[in-house]
Structure 1
Amino acid sequence: MNRIIMVFIAAIISGCSLRPDMIEIEQEYRYQMDYYSVSQKWWESFGDDKLNILIQKSLQNNSDLLIALNNIEKARINLRLDRLEYLPNISLQGEATKEGMADTSSNNINKFSLSAVLSYELDLWGRVRDKANASQSIYNATKFDYESARISLASSVANTYFLLVSLKEQEQILLDTLNSYIQSVEYRAMQLAAGEIDELIYAQAVATADEARAQLASLQMQISQANSSLVILVGGDLNEILYSDMNVSTNLPMLPEVPSGISSDILLKRADVASALERLKSSNFLVGVARTQWLPQISITGMFGYTSNDLDNLINSNKTAWNVGGSLLAPLIDFGRTYNSVELANLDQNASFLAYDKAVKNAFSEIRTALDDRKNSLMKARSMENLVSSQQKVYDIAQSRYDAGYSSHLELLDSQRNLLSAKLSLSSANLEAVNSIVSVFKAFGGGFEYETDNKTRENLIQQSSN
């Protein structure tokens, strides 16, 4: 009866925990409230089926993502092991002995025993529970780490894909321009043969064509590099890396809209921020685990089994044996080992808090930079469109003036080069604009879906008021 009372009291005490209160997180900022949620498949907003296929393939085959999945599995198993400490440990123990006198064998006695040994630690100070909770937080963090790796991979695939599309656009511009230059060289050659132009004008036309060829060769090198990078990101095999050309669109997509008035609290749901918070929680629980080293560990052990003088009758025998006992283990003098362990746990918790604070600030910095880049890149793209239009007019006028004999051939060549440069710059500016949208999606942790459901809207309003 006394043992039952002791176990009951111990069970009540085991609700205790020595972990400190969670560090108070104070983050105040102004934000506009609107009803948007994060869309996981943000890349579909670009409306490019080829991009969708490549990203989906990368999410299945990429090595970095597979490593993140492996880390989740490891954390899950560690959590399972820590939770098993709630349960007693049961083992089987068998023994056989023979006793007798040295001068005779007639009175020898055989003894056999088979017993189950149970040991169980009373979680008086919450050590087992805090350790399991710490593992739970780490498990949650690894899942958020996977989401971070997922969006980072999708962003890299999108950026590389759009780079390849832009380079192919520029390649086509150069091919068309080079074809025009070659035709011009052939025409100047006929003029030179007819004595209509001097050799300088012909040489200038040839030099312009050679310059375009050199630009095209350099651009095709970049295309090959971008193609290889995209194959690796997508998780292609060795033959694809060596020989495959990725199937991409011929033009950059239309830019999806980014809504205004997005609530900044969406940032706090970013996977990297959530992961940092879970690791902070884990370090908080581990401080409690470290503090339990100051206090005694109480374990209950028990044994129940059978004894017999005859192996055949071991289990069938009515001779049963049992015992129940307890043990206490407490530090007496450890020369500061426990103190320093607790201090290290406190420093780990402080480091986790600083890491969380850094993650939040980094998230706000990324979204501000991404939104500013988007605004500036759109302005730049519009300016480049105007520049191409202006340079086209300059070229048309220069061509007319040269044909009428009012301007030099060099003036015509300059207008051609400027027009080509403007077209290539416009393609690069459009690439910057589309990549700026990718950066916005990455910074927010996904795309945006407007919440029209009234219940969801009420929940958001209630969260903001809290």
Structure 2
Amino acid sequence: MFSSSHSRPPPTTRRSPHSGTGFASALVLAAALNLGGCMSLAPSYVRPALPVPDTWAGAPAPADGTSPTVQIDWRSYFPDTQLQALIEQALSGNRDLRIAVRRVEEARATYGIRRADTFPTIAAGGSYVRFRAPGVLLPGGSIDAQAYQVGLTESNWELDFWGRVRSLKDAALEEFLASDAARRAATLSVIANVADNYLLLRELDERIAVARETIASRSESLRIFRRRFEVGAISKLDLRQSEILLQQAQTLVAQLEQSRATQAHALAVLVGAPAPLQPAPLDDASVYADLQAGLPSSLLERRPDIVAAEHRLRAANANIGAARAAFFPRVTLTGAVGSTSTDLHSLFASGSGAWIFMPNISLPIFDAGRNRNNLELANAREGEAVAQYEKTIQQAFRDVADALSAREWLAAQVQAETDTLVAQSERARLARLRYDNGATPFLEVLDAQRDLLNARQELIQTRRALLASRVALYAALGGGVQEAETTPSPSAADITLNQGPLP
């Protein structure tokens, strides 16, 4: 834009019939230099070495016919229809996922802002100025003047010779990709949490059913004991012990019902709304069992949290380039092209065109150590990002190793507790038979009945833990969330904004 204090053009403004040609040519040349000729001072990125062993401890070799996790979507891995409905509801109603989506949008907008800094900002405008200068200030006497002007301006566009702006844009891009990977990690976490909570609810349903069966059985036993007590066949102590057995089962049901209500509330928060379920026993077919761990290095591409940590590491690496570039001269351009005239009717007449082109260069000389400390800060954050990346890998390795060991040892525990339950059932039967024949006091029956109920409850809990370990393994290996997403995850090559394809 231009201003005019009198009828003569300012000395820095040149008018010609082709007034815009010089400025436009300079702007195009500068844009070409800025987009294609800048260098980058960012360090070359090298992925840190894996801080974990090359193989899983105790993991079996992959078997033929098994599917790697990345190829199994959650609908295939969780065939239970009730669980599938819950997961679908959670993917649309979970508030943590909504927050994650908004963070992706926020990071995308930030990247768009940084990307826009690599292009000139053109603004159009017009103005009218009228003024009077007193004669005491001018040798020729006072002047009354007016000026009309319209034009296009560009203010302080930086020619990115050292890659400062591009490094900031690259850092913003990596942060955007990290936020999208974090969204996928949150999606996987929600899927696993819904499955785990669902299994826990089914465990509680089955334990409640077992406890209610026990109540029915002990109620019948108590009825018989009362009749036998009335006729003097048993002592009052035996009657009270039978009542204690029934009361213990009733107390257990109350505790389990309270736990189930609490778990149902937790599941409602996960899925975003109350989720009434039909009680059902635990079933090994609730989850897909044939899952191989593969190699630890495959986690780098499969686990979204590791992908997010690496993108943040890349962002920190790019910020070092921006901090280094601050030590070098900064070249900016300011320019304008348009028309100016003292009369409105001649504003667009021949000879009214004007343009101005003002390059500016600044070199930091003294900044009290600001640039040096900014570089040290960028290096420290990059080191922190490396440590965080390595920690994420180590935690992922532990998650997989824990899930593998749980799957192996819980299966053995289920078998042992199944055998124990068979033995406890036989013990309870023999104890009752001995008591009926007068060979033992009722205390032996009491202990046997308690141990039998505990064995049934523990077996149900362990079976649920075994199924939960398969869910944990699915999540630890980076599970398939492809079908949970409505859009494919973006990459640096296919991100688009409203302005068009991104570079």
TM superposition score category, shorter chain reference = 0.7 to 0.9
The answer on whether the counterparts of 1:294 and 1:338 sit within 8 Å (CA) in structure 2 is yes
Which among 118, 122, 134 is matched to residue 86 of structure 1?
118
* Structure 1 Cα separation of the partners of residues 172 and 426 of structure 2: 68
Match for 1:218 among 245, 255, 271? Answer: 255
What is the aligned partner in structure 2 of residue 351 from structure 1? 384
Following superposition, the deviation at residue 320 of structure 1 comes to 1.1
Query: Partner amino acid for 2:185?
Result: S
In the alignment, what sits opposite 1:150? Answer: 187
**Shift of residue 206 of structure 1?**
0.9
Does the CA-based 8 Å contact 1:165-1:252 persist in structure 2?
no
1:442 counterpart letter in structure 2: A
1:129 aligns with 2:166: yes
What residue in structure 2 maps to residue 384 of structure 1?
Answer: 417
Shift of 1:9: 9.3
SS of equivalent residue, structure 1 residue 86:
coil
Out of 65, 69, 94, which is 1:62 matched to? 94
State the match for 1:250 in structure 2: 281
Query: Could you tell me how far apart the structure 1 residues matched to 2:132 and 2:269 are?
Result: 76
> How far 1:234 moved relative to its partner?
0.7
What displacement does 1:143 show?
0.8
8 Å CA contact 1:161, 1:248 repeated in 2: no
Listed one character per residue, the Cα deviations across residues 196-239 of structure 1 (whole Å, up to 9, x for unaligned) are: 11211111111111111111111111011011111111101xxx
Choose 54-63 or 395-404, whichever is displaced more: 395-404
Q: CA deviation at 1:42?
A: 3.0
> Judging changes above 3 Å, is the alpha-carbon distance between structure 1 residues 13 and 338 closer, same or farther for their aligned structure 2 residues?
farther
8 Å Cα contact 2:206/2:280 also seen in 1: no
The runs of 5 or more residues in structure 1 that have no matched partner are 450-466
* 8 Å contact from structure 1 (residues 296, 330) kept in 2: yes
Answering whether residue 152 of structure 2 is matched by residue 96 of structure 1, we say no
Matched, 1:48 2:72: no
C-alpha distance in 1 between matches for 2:392 and 2:416: 36
Q: Is residue 69–residue 292 contact of structure 2 (8 Å, CA) maintained in 1?
A: no
- Alignment of structure 1 residues 204-353 onto 2, 5 Å: 204-236=241-273, 240=274, 245-254=276-285, 256-260=288-292, 262-269=294-301, 270-316=303-349, 318-353=351-386
Amino acid of the residue matched to residue 206 of structure 1?
A: E
SS of equivalent to 2:123: strand
User: Does 1:426 find its partner at 2:459?
Assistant: yes
Distance 1:20 1:393 in 2: 72
Amino acid at match of 2:152: A
Q: What amino acid is aligned across from residue 17 of structure 1 in structure 2?
A: S
Displacement, 1:11? 4.8
2:49 to 4, 26, 30: 26
Q: Percent identity?
A: 27
Q: For each residue in 1:270-299, what CA deviation from the matched residue of structure 2 results, as whole angstroms up to 9, or x when unmatched?
A: 111111110010000000001111111111
Paired amino acid for 1:285: A
Q: What SS is found at the alignment partner of 1:294?
A: coil
Q: Over residues 164-215 of structure 1, what are the superposed CA-to-partner deviations in whole Å (9 max), with x where a residue is unaligned?
A: 1101100010101011111111111111111211211111111111111111
CA distance in 2, matches of 1:295, 1:415: 84
Q: 2:396 aligns with which of 346, 351, 363?
A: 363
Bigger helix share: 1
Q: 1:153 to 1:382 in 2, by over 3 A?
A: same
Q: Secondary structure at the match of 1:150?
A: helix
Query: Given the alignment, which residue of 7, 14, 17 partners 2:37?
Result: 14
Instruction: Give structure 2 stretches of 5+ with no counterpart.
Output: 1-21, 56-60, 136-140, 483-503
Of the structure 1 ranges 26-35 and 136-145, higher mean CA displacement relative to structure 2 is found in: 26-35
Tell me if structure 2 keeps the 8 A contact 1:14–1:126. Answer: no
Between the aligned partners of 1:207 and 1:5, the Cα distance in structure 2 is: 92
Are the counterparts in 2 of residues 306 and 317 from structure 1 also a CA contact under 8 Å?
A: no
Retained in 2: the 8 A contact 1:130–1:288?
yes
Is the CA contact (8 Å cut-off) linking 1:51 and 1:248 kept in structure 2?
A: no
Contact 1:378/1:433, CA 8 A, preserved across alignment: yes
Give, in whole Å, the separation in 2 of the partners of 1:8 and 1:423: 76
Q: 1:183 to 1:353 in 2, by over 3 A?
A: same
Is 1:111 the counterpart of 2:153? The answer is no
1:298-324 CA deviation, whole Å, 9 max, x = no partner?
112221111122224423564111122
Residues 248 and 342 of structure 1, relative CA distance in 2, 3 Å threshold: farther
Please report how far the alpha carbon of residue 132 of structure 1 lies from its aligned counterpart in structure 2 after TM superposition.
1.1
Q: Give the TM-score taking structure 2 as reference length.
A: 0.82
Distance 1:325 1:205, change over 3 A: same
Distance 1:5 1:133 in 2: 23
Asked if the contact 1:50–1:249 (Cα under 8 Å) also holds between the matched residues in 2, the reply is no
3-state SS, counterpart of residue 335 of structure 1: coil
C-alpha displacement of 1:86: 1.8
Closer, same or farther: CA 441–3 of 1 in aligned 2, 3 Å: closer
- Does structure 2 retain, via aligned residues, the 8 Å contact 1:116–1:304? yes
Is residue 138 from structure 1 mapped to residue 144 from structure 2 by the alignment?
Answer: no
What residue is the counterpart of 2:18 in the other structure?
none
Check 1:12–1:192 CA distance in 2 against 1; reply closer, same or farther (3 A cut): closer
Per-residue CA deviation, residues 57-99 of structure 1 (Å, 9 max, x unaligned), is: 1011111110000000001111111111121111234333335
For residues 33 and 318 of structure 1, the distance between their equivalents in structure 2, rounded to whole angstroms, comes to 81
Task: Measure, in 1, the Cα distance between the counterparts of 2:175 and 2:89.
Answer: 28
Q: Distance in 1 between matches of 2:356 and 2:324?
A: 32
SS, match of residue 302 in structure 1: strand
Using the alignment, how far apart are the partners of 1:9 and 1:264 within structure 2? 45
- Most deviating of 194-203 and 427-436: 194-203
